[in-house]
Chain A
Amino acid sequence: MTETGVGARLPRKEDDRYLRGRGQYVADIKLPGMKDVAFLRSPIAHGRIRAIRIPGKWRDSVFTAEDLEGVKPIRAVCALPGFKPSEQPPLASGKVRQVGELLAMCVAETRAEAEDIAAEVEVDFEELPAVVDMLAARAADAPLVHEEWGDNVFLETLIDADLDPVKERAPIRVTREIRTARQCMMPIEGRGVVAAWDTRREQLVVHSAAQMPHITRTGLAECLGLDHGQIRVVSPDVGGGFGYKGILLPEEVCLSWLARHLDHPVRWIEDRREHLTASANCREHHYLITAYAEADGTLLAIDAEATVDSGAYSIYPFTACLEAAQIGSILPGPYDFPVYRCRTWSVASNKSPIMPYRGVARTGVCFAMELILDAVAREAGVEPYEVRLKNLVPPEAMPFDNITNKHFDSGDYPESLRRAVQAIGLAAVRERQARGEPDGRLIGVGFAIYCEQAAHGTSVYSGWGIPMVPGHEQATARITPDGGLELRVGVQSHGQGMETTLAQVANQILGIDPGKVKLVHGDTEYTPYSTGTWGSRCMVMAGGAVAAACRELAGRVARIGAHLLQVPAEEVTVGGGKVQGDSGSVGIDEVAKAWYLRPQDLPEDVDPGGLEITAGYKPKRDTGTFSYASHAVIVAVDSELGAVEILDYAVVEDGGTLVNPMIVEGQIRGGAAQGIGTALYEEMPFDGAGQPLASTLADYLIPGPTELPDFRIQHMETPSPYTEFGVKGIGEGGAIAPPAAIANAVNDALRPLGAEVAESPITPQRLLAAIAAARGSAGDGAP
């Protein structure tokens, strides 16, 4: 490891502009003549549009579905058998299917004036009963979100097995009904679009707070009927994404159309109310799960039914079924057991489309699986970690193909759990529990472990058959005339620090100072096509591509450098920013000068490709890397007030080779903070009419500084056998385990009361209801 290469805790190159308020986010872009757009949105969850009345004076400032001639609806189809596609019109036409659906766009000099206009547009609705509860949505008499389907199910999947033999002999059988609430992603910057038509280049330029700009361009091209060459998508600085900014929004289609049809640029910046009530919804799973086990807790079978509330429309490019169908394939987690049955439903409702949020289905899956394992442990009368140790895939079995054919690449899952037990001091907690707390609170300790498939490639995604299948990731590396390096990648960095980590990768190979490496990203005009930033894939895929490009570049640099040194090319090496021969060296800047400015100094047989390479990369296996972590937490529960305080939190994770441990730790902490939000605070509730009830940050609570612990993190570094440097994707992992670990800790604390929670977030109301239910059932003499 060098001080600036792979493995270094290099401070981030991008920090300075952010620390001086000089980042450039989409809302900061001002174009000459630009006007603002405000959307008129549906105030009801489900209804037919009878009429939209626009006051005469605003006729030229307001646009409805009728105006968008030739614009196609957003259609995200999945090839899994039985999938029913939806069509999401950019502006509602005929019917609205969620509160916040776009009805009209209003254009004015300022957003405030545009909102004034929107307030004057009248809409007549024939209101229809709304589908709000995902379980009720499957009832035969439920109202239909999409009438033509005949039911409300996007997709049903089944992984079948014969459970009868297990049912007959299993000494332990536990069943739980488990739920995770609907949430919002809540990056502090929302979405936003600045769109303009470039008359010189005959090109639509869309600045968008987008984490997958190339996919946004492909989606826009389909909806607008434009060639890819007629669209440029630019992602400037982006203020956090977490999945939300990977989705093609109807607002992007609308603004793009508008920019093409008006003679000035247009801007729409999502406000927090729009974010919460109209768009950024995620999670919302329901499980009915049964575990069968031996008396010692060894799993015999898992049988589950899982439902995901997918909302009104199938989102582009991930579709409405990614979440639920993934549940089927990843519910077994890091465990090895012989019999598995799982049926899933992706259900349509009159709510915002559900979108993949950091961890995607894994947070819910981990919650369900880890809660049921604790229930098994209670039944078996052993420590929860002991049950896990009996069932985790052991290190000697790696690489391991699990029951759903997931290929776990490497690692020592039991060791990470043992270290977490050590780190949290389990024995001391048990002693403390026996003593009791002076303040009367109940102490509990909980564990959760997961493995996370990341950077999954063609073989995984072609099976889903969604609009986007990742192939080779490409990067361009170009040495500049002064010996600097320019890297171009199709992924987008919005907090992950890739301007630094990809420079570290280049530095590892070429030795060029990271300060002289410039990353170009987030612009379809200048970067190779990429599916973008999602699925914890960038360090593996873009990192691998940058390494591949730099290696090829090193070969060309070596040949020119050897010529300048007047030695055979085989006798030189490239590194440390120079070409080293036996008796001397020449800097890469001298090589660059020769190529660009003094070609007369080049060898006769110089590679005419010069000092610029676009290289492609795929790991040796494209089934994904499997990072994993054990989370351990101690909580104090106030059984009178229902409050939960986190007293200590430890994470033992294995992300393979860490390119920049400082950044990895930041990702883990930030992810875990979001996971604590999922566990204890965050919920987007709806009333029976489908009205979202959290429309401000006073209603939708995300963790602040006082809600979070100092996370203690330990690394294990088991390199992936399949990737460049052995890197594994870890960006989402932190958000996966906290709800499970915290719920298990709360249930550990509640054991003396015989109460158990099985729904997130664990609000005071839910906690007190669980205690009351336990007291009630205790009165009945039930267990």
Chain B
Amino acid sequence: MTGKSVSLTVNGHAVTATVEPRTHLADFLREQLLLTGTHLGCEHGVCGACTVEIDGEIARSCITFAVTCDGARIRTIEGFDDDPVMDRLRRAFTEEHGLQCGYCTPGMLIAARDIVTRLPTADPRRIRVELSGNLCRCTGYQ
């Protein structure tokens, strides 16, 4: 396989790397950049564990090819360490026992942050609908 060069921004840092056309973004982040907070649950775009932000919108990194991210701004869970909204969400997840094994949690948090910033007045039903792209096997989503 021949690699292609891509330049992108990951968690605020400029990155230039050679990636194979078939490598998906999650593998690129995990294997090449060692950002292992992005988790893989299904690798076919259903479970949402691999959710990241691409150019400010949430996306599944397992069905996004890394080569298509040339010039993109990527934000992974590691990039939200100092984010005030994420800080409140982290506290809420702990207080409400919204995580158990922690495996779906990074994707859940990134999706949740998107929901609370985009739909600040969403009712519980709407939040469940919006979160339905993220599967959790431990908590029952409550």
Contact = CB atoms under 8 A, between A and B. Distances in A.
B39 A711 contact: no
Interface in A263-281: 269, 271-272
A666 B100 contact: yes
Contact of A272 (B22, B43, B99, B109): B43
B138 A20 contact: no
A100 interface: no
B14 interface: no
Contacts of A708: 140-142
Contacts of B127: 705
A665 B37 CA distance: 27
B104 A698 contact: no
Contacts of B7: none
Contact of B100 (A670, A705, A706): A670
A559 interface: no
Given A494-B101, A697-B135, A708-B142, A21 B44 contact: no
Given A272-B41, A696-B42, A704-B132, A239 B102 contact: yes
Contacts of B31: 110
Contact of A697 (B22, B42, B77): B42
B100 A495 contact: yes
B141 A705 contact: yes
Interface stretch (A10-18, A359-367, A461-469, A773-781): A10-18
A239 B20 CA distance: 29
A663 B101 CA distance: 12
Contact of A662 (B97, B99, B140): B97
A188 B104 contact: yes
B140 A30 contact: no
Contact of B41 (A30, A189, A666, A711): A189
A12 B102 CA distance: 12
B43 A21 contact: no
Nearest to A675: B140
A496 B100 CA distance: 7
Given A20-B78, A21-B76, A705-B128, A188 B136 contact: yes
Nearest to A695: B44
Nearest to A272: B42
Contacts of A239: 39, 101-104
Contact of B22 (A14, A112, A670): A112
B140 A670 contact: yes
A323 to B, nearest CB: 21
A647 to B, nearest CB: 13
Contact of A670 (B46, B135, B139): B139
Given A19-B99, A494-B101, A696-B44, A670 B93 contact: no
Contact of B103 (A16, A30, A187): A187
A368 B103 CA distance: 34
B75 to A, nearest CB: 11
Contacts of A14: 102
Interface string A19-32: 11111110110100
Contact of A240 (B38, B100, B132, B142): B100
A193 interface: no
B81 interface: yes
B102 A495 contact: yes
A25 B105 CA distance: 13
Contacts of A112: 20, 22-23
B64 interface: no
A21 B36 contact: yes
A663 B47 CA distance: 24
Given A188-B41, A272-B42, A670-B138, A665 B97 contact: yes
A23 B46 CA distance: 22
B16 interface: no
Given A21-B38, A30-B34, A673-B141, A237 B100 contact: no
Contact of B138 (A30, A240, A271): A240
A141 interface: no
A710 interface: yes
A186 interface: yes
Interface string A211-253: 0000000000000000000000000011110100000000000
Interface in B44-96: 44, 46-47, 49, 76-78, 81, 90, 93-95
A18 B44 contact: no
A553 interface: no
B47 A25 contact: no
A354 interface: no
A696 B46 contact: yes
Contacts of B35: 21
Interface residues of B, number: 52
Contacts of B90: 15-16, 19-20
A705 B104 CA distance: 13
Interface string B122-142: 001001110110111111111
A711 B104 CA distance: 21
Contacts of B22: 112
A24 B39 CA distance: 11
A495 B41 CA distance: 16
A630 to B, nearest CB: 18
A186 B137 contact: yes
Contacts of A705: 127-129, 131-132, 134, 141
A102 B32 CA distance: 29
Contacts of B39: 25, 27, 188-189, 239
A453 interface: no
A19 B93 contact: yes
A283 B23 CA distance: 36
A410 to B, nearest CB: 27
Nearest to B125: A706
B94 A11 contact: yes
A350 interface: no
B40 interface: yes
Interface string A435-464: 000000000000000000000000000000
Contact of A19 (B23, B43, B49, B94): B94
Contacts of A97: none
A672 interface: yes
A217 B38 CA distance: 30
B46 A697 contact: yes
A666 B141 contact: no
Given A237-B102, A674-B137, A698 B129 contact: no
B37 A697 contact: no
B141 A272 contact: no
A348 interface: no
A710 to B, nearest CB: 6
A265 B50 CA distance: 26
Contact of B140 (A27, A271, A496, A711): A711
Contacts of B36: 21, 24-25, 27-28
Nearest to A185: B137
A14 B34 CA distance: 22
A17 to B, nearest CB: 8
A704 B135 contact: yes
A497 interface: yes
Contacts of B94: 11-12, 15-16, 19
A711 B101 contact: no
Question: Max chain A CB contacts within 10 Å: which of B90, B101, B106?
Answer: B101
A267 to B, nearest CB: 11
A318 B135 CA distance: 29
Contacts of A25: 36, 39, 103
Contacts of B44: 272, 696-698
16 contacts: A22-B37, A27-B39, A27-B40, A188-B136, A189-B39, A189-B41, A189-B103, A239-B104, A242-B137, A272-B43, A495-B100, A670-B100, A697-B135, A698-B46, A705-B132, A708-B141
Closest 3 pairs (CB-CB, A-B): A21-B37, A18-B102, A239-B103
Given A20-B78, A188-B104, 4 more contacts: A25-B36, A112-B22, A704-B131, A705-B127
